[in-house]
């Protein structure tokens, strides 16, 4: 389990999901695809001058002040297990799947306290993005990849930070990535927006098993960092791009349904 490690790493980007750029891309894609009615409600909830993109990383920003929220960013599905088990992987509701359900209930209630409803929206925008980072839905007893030392582009780091922002940063600025990502998201929107939070978590888990860990180069020597070279990057980059695109599609559908009273469960 990585809860303690996440508390100790608060303030360090290696503990977070996607980084600011990735979360901003998810929010931008979602905003482009949302219905006018849902957009109007989001604008009313957030208040004047506050965009969905601008609050996409808020949940990371408040983790020092809200230490109880640390475990809400992930779910620990063991990589040697084929499916998520909430009793095993989300004890006491302290995981991203349960947190999304709790905050969705608040957001869907137009009579809920305005401050709580705004907070629920800000958490949800972030968490739907987080759960599409494969290391946020897998447990390999390495603190979500934070305990796996790597070298990426000749710089030392860890596996989690590489998947959060290392590979993505190399792809180019968000403004350059956004048009192509939006085009792909729109192309596959009908297919990708299907399913529910539990299915999306299991999908991310499978990617962690197959790619994040399955293609991970062996260490050259005991306790030596693993070099993430061109071959691994070629496996990781398409997964990262597609997961961000899927997250945008799914966040749009999720918010449309939640804010318009159509709480789809399949």
Instruction: Compute the distance between CA of residue 103 and CA of residue 258 in angstroms, rounded to an integer.
Output: 11
Residue with the two structure tokens 């905003």: 31
pLDDT score at 221: 85
Domain 3-257 has CATH 1.10.575.10: yes
User: Phi then psi for 105, rounded to 5 degrees?
Assistant: -60, -40
pTM value? Answer: 0.92
Q: What tens-digit pLDDT sequence spans the chain (266 residues)?
A: 444 333 333 333 345 678 999 999 999 999 999 999 999 999 999 999 999 999 999 999 999 999 999 999 999 999 999 999 999 999 999 999 999 999 999 999 999 999 999 999 999 999 999 999 999 999 999 999 999 999 999 999 999 999 999 999 999 999 999 999 999 999 999 999 999 999 999 999 999 999 999 999 998 888 899 999 999 999 999 999 999 999 999 999 999 999 987 655 44
Q: Of 50, 45, 60, 55, nearest to 14 (Cα)?
A: 60
């Amino acid at each position: 389990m990585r809860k303690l490690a996440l508390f100790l790493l608060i303030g360090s980007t290696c503990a977070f999901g996607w980084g600011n750029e990735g979360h901003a891309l998810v929010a931008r894609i979602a905003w482009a695809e949302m219905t006018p009615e849902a957009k109007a409600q989001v604008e009313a909830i957030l208040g004047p001058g506050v965009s969905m993109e601008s609050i996409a990383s808020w949940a990371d920003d408040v983790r020092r002040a809200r230490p109880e929220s640390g475990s809400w960013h992930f779910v620990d599905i063991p990589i040697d297990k084929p499916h998520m088990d909430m009793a095993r992987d989300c004890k006491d509701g302290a995981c991203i799947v349960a947190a999304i359900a709790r905050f969705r209930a608040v957001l869907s209630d137009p009579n809920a306290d305005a401050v709580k409803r705004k907070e629920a929206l800000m958490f949800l925008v972030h968490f739907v993005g987080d759960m599409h980072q494969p290391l946020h839905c897998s447990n390999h007893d390495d603190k979500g990849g934070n305990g796996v030392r790597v070298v990426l582009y000749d710089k030392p780091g860890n596996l989690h930070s590489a998947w959060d922002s290392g590979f993505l940063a190399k792809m180019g600025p968000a403004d350059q990535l956004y048009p192509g990502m939006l085009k792909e998201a729109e192309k596959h929107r009908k297919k990708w927006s299907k399913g529910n939070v539990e299915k999306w978590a299991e999908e991310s888990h499978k990617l962690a098993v197959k790619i994040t860990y399955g293609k991970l180069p062996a260490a050259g020597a005991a306790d030596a960092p693993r070099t993430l070279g061109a071959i691994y990057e070629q496996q990781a980059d398409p997964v990262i791009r597609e997961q961000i695109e899927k997250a945008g599609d799914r966040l749009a559908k999720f918010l449309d349904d939640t804010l318009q009273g159509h709480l789809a469960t399949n």
